[in-house]
Amino acid sequence: MKINTTDPDLRTIFSRIHEGSLDLQPDFQRAEVWQLPKKKLLIDTILRGWQVPPVHVILNEDSYIQEVLDGQQRLSAIRDFMYNKFKINGLIEPIDD
């Protein structure tokens, strides 16, 4: 197995999702479960420049499409935001753990 580490920007990630070269729902992946409040919190986190956990993908060597192993919920939230399925107003209070 060949492992590569990359750090693409959001525009590249969104482009891959839009083009279909990044599959958010491969056969082994569960359905989307995040509700709107959680999606908004993620986008708020990204816009604040805070750390977001990495996404892990594998390359399907038959189709040359990247399949998401971990991070599907986060990527789906980014996709939905980029497609204007929801908005944020910048008034979300940060969560302190």
Which residue ranges make up each domain of the chain?
10-82
Dump pLDDT digits (tens) for 64-90.
Answer: 899 999 999 999 999 999 999 999 887
Global pTM value: 0.85
Measured in whole angstroms, the distance separating CA 68 from the mean position of its chain's CA atoms is: 9
DSSP 4-67: ------HHHHHHHHHHTSEES--TTSPPP---HHHHHHHHHHHHTT------EEEEETTTTEEE
Tokens representing residue 85 in the block = 């399925």
What band does 5 get if pLDDT is binned at 50, 70 and 90? confident
